[in-house]
A and B are shown apart, each in its own frame.
Chain A
Amino acid sequence: KQEVTQIPAALSVPEGENLVLNCSFTDSAIYNLQWFRQDPGKGLTSLLLIQSSQREQTSGRLNASLDKSSGRSTLYIAASQPGDSATYLCAVRPGGATNKLIFGTGTLLAVQP
């Protein structure tokens, strides 16, 4: 059974700092891995999607890496800003016919001005 774990559960950093969020999964047979952002009272916004054949994806100040063999992904945020404050969730899509996503419990990020 696939399990997804995220550490740390919460993180507080001063504005301008670079930071790394971690995600690990127990079964390396995945189709892709996705990082989402969730603001309070809102749904999920997709940030980056990495296919199983890829090693990393970049979008602006965000960079996500994937090491499928070791069951790990990291989300790197450069030059953090107060507007980056949110909960960050990673989710894996197992192989198979469905588009089911299995989520981690998230990292609550607070960027202090």
Chain B
Amino acid sequence: EAGVAQSPRYKIIEKRQSVAFWCNPISGHATLYWYQQILGQGPKLLIQFQNNGVVDDSQLPKDRFSAERLKGVDSTLKIQPAKLEDSAVYLCASSLGLAQPQHFGDGTRLSIL
């Protein structure tokens, strides 16, 4: 089966600009996750969707980050405006359901200048 697809793989922007990442989960996976992984740290969950509803967004900086999952399939994560501390790898994962193992994409590496 095809894995979790993410694009772009790399993105370089200046601070205060906006950026968007895209994720296509494994077909049939109802649950989708966005993680932020800062260099030298483990991933941190930003937001979790069950179909197109939000299950957990407690660690999402809502003043600048937003995410949506229209039609319960693809998802986009947006940052506006970006700050230097947003430099990280943004990982998308999906699972069949809430209690199932998560499968990760290769991530988008974001650099803020």
Contacts and interface: CB of A to CB of B under 8 A. Distances in A.
Contact of A104 (B31, B42, B104, B109): B42
A41 interface: yes
A89 to B, nearest CB: 6
B106 to A, nearest CB: 5
Given A43-B104, A43-B107, A100 B45 contact: yes
Interface string A81-105: 0000000010100000111111111
A21 interface: no
A61 interface: no
Interface string B62-98: 0000000000000000000000000000010101001
Interface string A12-33: 0000000000000000000000
A99 B41 contact: no
Among A44, A45, A103, which residue has the most Cβ atoms of chain B within 10 A? A44
Given A43-B105, A44-B104, A99 B99 contact: yes
Nearest to B98: A99
A43 B94 CA distance: 12
Contacts of B98: 97-99
Contact of B31 (A44, A89, A91, A99): A99
A101 B106 contact: no
Interface of B: 4, 31, 33, 40-45, 48, 55-56, 91, 93, 95, 98-107, 109
Q: Which 3 A-B pairs have the closest CB atoms?
A: A103-B42, A43-B104, A44-B104
